Structure 1
Amino acid sequence: MKGEYDKLIEEAINAREFAYVPYSNFKVGAAVLMEDGSIYSGCNIENASFGATNCAERTAIFKAISEGKKEIKALAEIGDIETYTMPCGICRQVISEFISEDIDVILIKNKNDFVIKKFSEIFPLSFSKKDLNK
């Protein structure tokens, strides 16, 4: 399965370098693979008003959505290179809005050290638009 996500992993690692983190110094990069095979990347962008900070995952997702892509097929992310960085709760909720099946979430330390989790493992019993349409 590694070969399947090589480009996605590379894009997440590259995006991390653009992180704007003057307050936490905690760089995060993310990349999303969309239904048509396109990849969008993003980094975290901090703000002195902490509520205005945007996570890497949401940056990547919002870039894709703003260009007409609506369904995530996989997501990769890298933060601390000593341990695996998980999406925060808000990002997990945003991810759940744009998936129609259980997707792979690739948690990266470096291009050769990563784990793949199912989204349902990291966000069990999620609330999404599917719940509103019952």
Structure 2
Amino acid sequence: MPSSNTQEEIMEYSQLVKEAIKAKNHSYSPYSKFKVGAALLTKSGKVYLGANIENIAYSPSNCAERTAFFKAVFDGEKEFEAIAVAGGLDDDNTDYCYPCGVCRQVMLEFCDPETFKFISVKDKENYKEYFLKEIIPFGFGPGSIK
């Protein structure tokens, strides 16, 4: 069940949603034609964009979420607040977009499942917010080995 939105959260995340939709323009998806854009908000207030990058062999492909996370981590960021993800065939957002299992695992590596928000975007006005723990229940993260 998506978490409820306060008016303040809706205003705060609406710009992140727009950035995720714009990030789709950087997608390299000649095979699936499924463009995905992500906008990752750090706790310091910076936003990192990512897009999916396909490869003909598929397994060397990289998802938009991981592209954004890896760019941020490379820049020294390791504390994150939220990520918005928009996707669809070509330029359409056909439905809400959710992360694959590998991306969920990357999020769990760097994010507190109790507070990190995942925002699934259908369009600028329609998006759903979830806590990370809701999209990866019983996840295995760094806290699992302490």
**Bucket of the pairwise TM-score, normalised by the shorter protein:** over 0.9
- 1:63, distance to aligned residue in structure 2 (A): 0.5
Once residues 15 and 68 of structure 2 are traced to their aligned partners in structure 1, the CA distance between those partners, rounded to angstroms, is: 15
1:121 aligned to 2:139?
no
Give the alignment partner of residue 69 of structure 2, picking from 58, 61, 65: 61
Q: State the aligned residue count.
A: 133
Deviation per CA, 1:30-71: give whole Å up to 9, x if none. Answer: 111111011101000001121110000000000100000001
Name whichever of 91-100 and 101-110 sits farther off: 101-110
Instruction: Please report the RMSD computed on the Cα atoms of aligned residues, expressed in angstroms.
Output: 1.0
What code does the residue aligned with 2:112 have? Answer: S
Give the alignment partner of residue 18 of structure 1, picking from 26, 44, 58: 26
Unmatched segments (≥5 aa) in structure 2: 1-8
What code does the residue aligned with 1:51 have? Answer: S
Unmatched segments (≥5 aa) in structure 1: none
- 1:108, distance to aligned residue in structure 2 (A): 0.5
**Given the superposition, is the C-alpha separation of residues 12 and 54 from structure 1 closer, same or farther in structure 2, using an over 3 Å criterion?**
same
- 1:100, distance to aligned residue in structure 2 (A): 2.8
Q: Which TM-score applies when normalising by structure 1?
A: 0.95
Deviation per CA, 1:74-112: give whole Å up to 9, x if none. Answer: 010011212111100000000000113521111101111
Matched-pair identity in %: 44
Q: Which TM-score applies when normalising by structure 2?
A: 0.87
